[in-house]
Amino acid sequence: MKNIYYWATFFLFVFSIVSCSQAIISTDDTDIWQKTINTEEWIINTGRVRSDESSFTLSLKEDTDYELWETITLVFDMVNIPQDSGLVLSLLRNEKDLDNGYYYGPTGSLMLRPEVIEGTWKKEFIWKIDAVWCAPSDFPTWCDWVEPWNYKIQAQVYDTSNFSILGWPDQSDKELLFEKNIEITIKGEVNLTPLSKTLDASAIQFVKEKFWLYAYAGTKLERYFNEFWEIYSQGDVYCKDYTLVLPFIWDIKICAPLFSNSWEIIEEDISYIEWIFSYENALEQAYTLANKNYLSRVSFDHQPSMEEAWYSSDLWDFQTWSEENPDATTYLSSWVKNWAFQDSAWIFIVSQIKAWGWSKRTEVLSDQVLVKVWPWNTSCIVKIADYKATLWVDIFTDKISCP
């Protein structure tokens, strides 16, 4: 039993000596960590780096000109990199291209999370020229089809690898240790899809402004286009042809430079079909019919001034006057909630609200009126529903008939 006690005491004593020695070595080792700055190598180091000079270089294994879908091999030479450092690679546009407002395709990180690096070594990173990581809605996703243009690949090394690259702005406490950029040129066929969509949106906007149409996404103006034709090149610009269907007669060509936020109407032949009411005239008739049963329930057909409502601050306290005359300032507020054209007729949903007045004593009025306007000066009220209720009618697909 004594032998066991003696051996246990001996091992405990040896373990204590080793532990103390390690603690002393660790303390001495910490004292030799220091800051180093080497501006010639464009190294900014504020982390814990040994006194030996550190370095970080970035080079290309091939030439600087590449084709889409090829691979780029990046070569890193690192010396004395601090433990648990994080490497981030990004594809960026050259500064000279940032102020012209053009769209050259997606840019972003070449990796989803920082690459953990440390020590002295040489490594290669291979990237296929097709897509980058991005986060347009704060959720990391793969943004494909990098456009042909002049870029730079940026390599950054931080003193930690525990941070996020994509999504919400990273708030971690990290410091940049190294940064290096290499310029490259990517050649190949341009993705015309973004420009084609821009021309489509421009055509829809043109129709809206040409005919003074109330429109938003739910109005579905694209329904009145016969087809969105393919985009084609014409000299230094790209163009698309459009043809509209009823109630319009329209053939148009819209063109724009490849990298531009502007577009131009090249050819235009646009009008209403002769026997069809214009949107403006049809809307006026719809308002006339929809307002007919509501104007008698308000004092004005427009928002009145206090003088029009026969209020005088010299004679009345406003609250007292409002209680005595609850409907004196009421007026009918009308606007189009949505519209469509089907079967040679205009369909409107007109919102009707009784505005102003002394709310505690005046009648509440809020409806939506479904109106159909025919081209031969006839119209009808199809349906009326409370403003907060549902009409249960799809004006784009349902057949709308007068009662």
User: What would the CATH number be for the domain defined by 55-187?
Assistant: 2.60.40.2550
Quote the pTM value. Answer: 0.61
Gyration radius of the chain's alpha carbons: 36
What pLDDT is stored for residue 194 in this prediction? 80
- DSSP code of residue 205: H
Q: What is the pLDDT along the chain (403 residues), one digit of tens a residue?
A: 444 444 444 444 433 333 333 222 222 222 222 222 232 333 333 334 433 578 898 888 877 788 888 889 999 898 988 888 999 999 998 776 665 556 667 888 998 889 999 888 888 899 988 889 888 777 888 888 788 888 999 999 999 998 988 877 677 788 899 999 999 888 888 888 888 888 888 888 888 888 888 888 888 888 888 877 889 988 888 899 888 887 877 788 888 887 666 667 766 666 666 667 788 888 999 999 999 888 888 878 887 777 777 777 776 777 777 777 777 777 888 889 999 998 888 999 998 888 766 666 556 778 899 999 987 767 899 998 887 778 889 999 999 888 8
For the chain, what are the domain ranges? 55-187, 193-272, 279-386
Pairs from 189-198 (Cβ < 8 Å, separation ≥ 24): 189/68, 189/148, 190/147, 190/148, 190/258, 191/105, 191/145, 191/147, 192/231, 192/238, 193/145, 194/103, 194/105, 195/231, 195/238, 195/256, 195/258, 196/228, 196/231, 196/240, 198/256, 198/263
